[in-house]
Structure 1
Amino acid sequence: MAMKIRLARGGSKKRPFYSIVAADSRMPRDGRFIEKLGTYNPLLAKDDEKRVVMNLERVQHWLSQGAQPTDRVARFLEAAGARPKTVRNNPKAGTPGKAMAERAAKKAARAAEPAAE
């Protein structure tokens, strides 16, 4: 059984609240899970200690059983010191898309036009 440690969404519309759960990867996001490992409340301030609350002992247990954390949960674990930090490099993230590149080229052409006279 492929296990994941992931977020399950709760809360009402536009008021998200997430549970950190250990679940079978084939189950739906908010569906059946095996164990609740903690909570994440993105509406709290980033420096609030109640923003991310995890039972690290149980998380380590599931990691030792072969559970794979999702990207967001892996970042929580790195911040808590439960996992070593990984280097993330996405050089394409900062480059503009096709439409934005075309707009920038037109703007540069317009700006260079009066200077050419």
Structure 2
Amino acid sequence: MATVIRLARFGAKKRPYYHVVVTDSRNARNSGNILATVGKYDPMLPRDSERRVVLNVDEVKQWLAKGAKPSDRVYRFLANAGLVAARVVPNQTKKNQQSEKTLMKIKDKQEKLAKIAEEQAAAEAAAKAAAEAPAEESAPAAESEAPVAE
């Protein structure tokens, strides 16, 4: 018998509440033919609530040892509880990656922005130098005017 750990829906309309159950994979979601209830899941609670997902860890470990396979959602619960390794999210496939033409456009745009930033930095440096130079020139001029005023 192929057993699976999955969610069985309970609760009212627009107010879901799930039991984490172990059942035969051929049974319907809410058939009632369950082998064990190993936890509860209340999606209406906040994500950080400890009562959102409640699992009986010992029973879950026993059923996993017996060969029960968790559904995708239950697998995430088990991974968050540290009972199984989290699934690795694959990298982008070649089909999903940006084309060479798009990458070239992005690179050109970044180079233009870098060049503009360098020009602005150079202009600011020149403006600072120009602002400091007249201040230095005016100070000696004031000193030279002082003896003339006497």
Q: Same fold judged by TM-score > 0.5?
A: yes
Match in the other structure for 2:129? none
Larger radius of gyration, structure 1 or 2? 2
> Alignment partner of 2:34: what SS?
coil
> Alignment partner of 1:48: what SS?
coil
User: TM-score, normalised to structure 1's length?
Assistant: 0.75
What is the Cα-based RMSD across aligned positions, in Å?
Answer: 1.5
Q: Which has the higher strand share?
A: 1
Match in the other structure for 1:46? 47
Call closer, same or farther: CA 1:90–1:29 in 2, change over 3 Å.
Answer: farther
> Alignment partner of 1:53: what SS?
strand
User: Map of 1:2-81 to 2, 5 A cutoff?
Assistant: 2-31=2-31, 32-81=33-82
Match in the other structure for 1:88? 89
Identical-pair percentage: 47
Unaligned runs of 5+ in 2: 97-150
User: Map of 1:92-103 to 2, 5 A cutoff?
Assistant: none
Q: Which has the higher helix share?
A: 2
Higher RCO, 1 or 2 (CA under 8 Å, sep at least 6)?
1
- Cα deviation 1:55-86 (Å, max 9, x = unaligned): 01000000000000000000000000011111
User: TM-score, normalised to structure 2's length?
Assistant: 0.59
CA distance in 1, matches of 2:30, 2:55: 18
CA distance in 1, matches of 2:91, 2:15: 30
- Cα deviation 1:73-117 (Å, max 9, x = unaligned): 00000000011111123859xx8xxxxxxxxxxxxxxxxxxxxxx
Match in the other structure for 2:114? none
Unaligned runs of 5+ in 1: 96-117
CA distance in 2, matches of 1:86, 1:26: 25
Supply the AA of the counterpart residue of 1:17.
Y
Supply the AA of the counterpart residue of 1:45.
P
> Alignment partner of 1:34: what SS?
strand
